[in-house]
Amino acid sequence: MINLNRYKVLTFDCYGTLIDWESGILAALKPLLSTYGHNLNDEHILQLYAEFEAEIQKGEYITYKEVLRRVAQKFSEYFGFTLASQELYSLADSIKYWSPFPDTVEALKSLKQNFKLAIISNVDDNLFAFSAQHLKVEFDWIITAEQVKSYKPSLNNFRVAIERIDLPLDQILHVACSIYHDIVPAQSLGISTLWVNRRAGKEGIGANLPVVAQPDLEVPDLHTLAVLTTRAGDEG
C-alpha cells in the first residue's frame, strides 16, 4: 500500500476512468454497424476500436474529432460499406452524451477536499467541455491532446503536465484505467500510478491495447480511492 498522504495532486485520465467511454463508444457504433448488417458483440467492437484509434494516433497530430471520424471510416472500410458524411462524425458527436461512471462525481468532490486535481486527456478542448459539465468539479489543470499536439502514450502529454503543475514528482499521483495510454508512460517518467480497473470481473480488456505493467496501487473504482484517501487522512 502506498502512502496516499504524500501526494498533493491527483492527475486523471478522463475517458474510461471518469467517463464511461466504452458505453459511449458502443452506443454510437453498434447501431451504425447494425444499419449495414454487422451485428458484432461488444468485445469485438471495442477491440477493433482500440486498434484503429491507436494506429491513427501514432501518426501526425490531428484533432480528436478527426481521429474519431477516421475510426468510423476504418470500421466501414474493414467491413466493406460506405458511411455518409453525417455518419462519419456520429462517434465524435456522441461524446457530449457520454456519462460519468456512477461513482465518479461524488468521488471527485470528496477528493477535491484534500488534493488539487488535473486532467490529462486525449481529447479536444471543446469536446472535453461537454464532459466537464457532467463531472461537476473544477479542475486545477486541464491538459488536452489539442493543447500539446500529441496523444498518450506519448511522454509529451505527461511532461507538459509536470511542467504546468510544477511540483516534485513524488507529490503527483496519476489515476487511470488504461495501462497502455497512462500507466506505462507515467511510470517511465517516475510518476506514481493508480490503476482504476474498471473492467474487473469482465472478459477481455475493452477499448485498450494489451500491455503489461505493475501500477503502485489498483482499485476497482473511484469510490474506493476516495475511501482510501479519507482513511489515510484520518490516520495521518
CA dihedral angle for residue 143, residue 186, residue 197, residue 110, rounded to 10 degrees: -50
13 catalytic? Reply is yes
d(CA 77, CA 183): 32
Reported as type and span, the H/E element at residue 101 is none
- Burial annotation 119-142 (CB, 10 A radius, 16+ → b, else e): bbbbbbeebbeebbeebebebebb
d(CA 70, CA 122): 15
Pick the catalytic residue: 13, 20, 182, 221?
Answer: 13
φ, ψ of residue 5 to 5 degrees: the values are: -70, -15
What count of other Cβ atoms lies within 10 Å of the Cβ of residue 222?
26
**Do the beta carbons of residue 167 and residue 192 sit within 8 Å?**
no
β-pair type (9-12, 172-176): parallel
d(CA 6, CA 28): 41
The interaxial angle of helices 64-79 and 42-57, nearest 10 deg, is: 120
Positions marked active-site: 13
